Amino acid sequence: MRIRFKPWARGELEASSFYIDNPEEYKGKWRDLFGNDKPLYLELGCGKGGFISQIASENQNINFVAIDMVDAMLGLAKRNIESVYAEKSLQVKNVYLTRFDIERILLIMDDKDKIDRIYINFCNPWPRGKHRKKRLTHTRQLEKYRQFLKDGGEIYFKTDDDGLFNDSLLYFEQAGFEVLDKTFDLANTEGFWNNIETEHEKMFKEQGIKIKAAKVRKK
C-alpha cells in the first residue's frame, strides 16, 4: 500500500518507548528485550497497526514484535497502539515496532529468538512471475523463517488473492511446513481462529472478495 509521507512520523518513532531503531543489535536477544519468558509472536508487514494494536492489547500474556519498512506506516501503527491501549487503560509493555526490510530478516533474527508464531496479513501478492520471489510466503522466505521459528512454531496467513493463496499452500509444503487448516472463505468458517479484521480485510469484504486463510506449523 502506498502512503503519503508523514513528516511527524520519524520524530515520534524515535521518541517512542516501544520503537526499536537499531534492530540488528537485538538479533538473538529479542526475548531479553521483554525481560520475561512469555511466548513471542512476530507480525511481518504491520502496516498502520490495526491488527497488532488489537491482538497485543487483548493478549497481555504474549509478547509481540511488528515489522514494516515505511516510517509513515510505523508512525500510524505507533499512534494506533497508543490509542487502543489507552482505551483499555493499559501500558504498552508487550509490543515493539521496528523498521526493517523483511527480505533481509536474518540480519535481525536467529535461532536464539525462538519465535512461537508469525502473522502475515495481506502481503503484496507480487503476481508477475519474475517478482514472485519477493512474496513473504515464497519458499525462499519461508526457509529464512524456519531458522528462527521454534520447532512446532506456527505461521498464520491471510490474503484476498487467490493466486497467492494457492501458491503459498505449495510453498509451505516445499519449505517443510505442515498445513494444519485452511479456508477459502474465512468470514463463513466458524471457529477457524479468533479473527481480528485488518483495514484491508474490511475493505475486501465490502467488495465481496472472500478472505483466504491458513494455519501452518514447522515440522
Residues 166 and 19 sit within 8 Å (Cβ to Cβ): no
What is the edge-to-edge ordering of all strands in the sheet holding 177-183? 19-20, 95-99, 63-68, 40-44, 115-121, 149-159, 212-218, 177-183
- The pLDDT score that the predictor gives to residue 6 is 81
* Segment 204-216, tens digit of pLDDT: 989 999 999 999 9
Selecting from 3.10.180.10, 3.40.190.10, 3.40.50.150, 3.50.50.60, what CATH number does the domain 26-113 have? 3.40.50.150
DSSP tag of 7: T
pLDDT band at 2 (very low <50, low <70, confident <90, very high): low
- CATH fold of 123-219 reads Rossmann fold (3.40.50)
Instruction: List pLDDT tens digits, range 97-146.
Output: 999 999 999 999 999 999 999 999 999 999 988 899 999 999 999 999 99
Q: What is the DSSP letter of 71?
A: H
Query: What are the tens digits of pLDDT across the range 151-196?
Result: 999 999 999 999 999 999 999 999 999 999 999 999 999 999 999 9
Residue with cell string 528462527: 148
Summarised one tens digit per residue, pLDDT across range 40-87 is 999 999 999 999 999 999 999 999 999 999 999 999 999 999 999 999
User: What average pLDDT score do residues 6-24 get?
Assistant: 93
In whole angstroms, what is the distance from residue 189 CA to residue 105 CA? 33
Q: Which has more pLDDT, 161 or 10?
A: 161
The residue written with cell numbers 514494516 in the block is 68
Amino acid at 43: E
Identity (one letter) of the amino acid at 10? R
Strands (E), 48-161: 63-68, 95-99, 115-121, 149-159
* Number of continuous H segments (helices) and E segments (strands) in the chain: 7, 8
Residue 152 has phi, psi (to 5 degrees) of 85, 0
How much is the pLDDT for 1?
A: 53
- Are domains 26-113 and 123-219 of this chain identical in fold? yes
How far is the C-alpha of 213 from the C-alpha of 182, rounded, in Å? 6
Domain residue spans in the chain? 26-113, 123-219
**How far out from the chain centre does Cα 8 lie?**
24
Please tell me the distance from the alpha carbon of residue 162 to that of residue 76, in angstroms, as a whole number.
Answer: 29
Mean pLDDT of the chain: 95
Res. 4: pLDDT tops 80? no
Percent of the chain surpassing pLDDT 90: 90
Query: Would strands 149-159 and 212-218 be described as parallel, antiparallel, or unpaired?
Result: antiparallel
Nine-digit cell string for 211 = 478472505
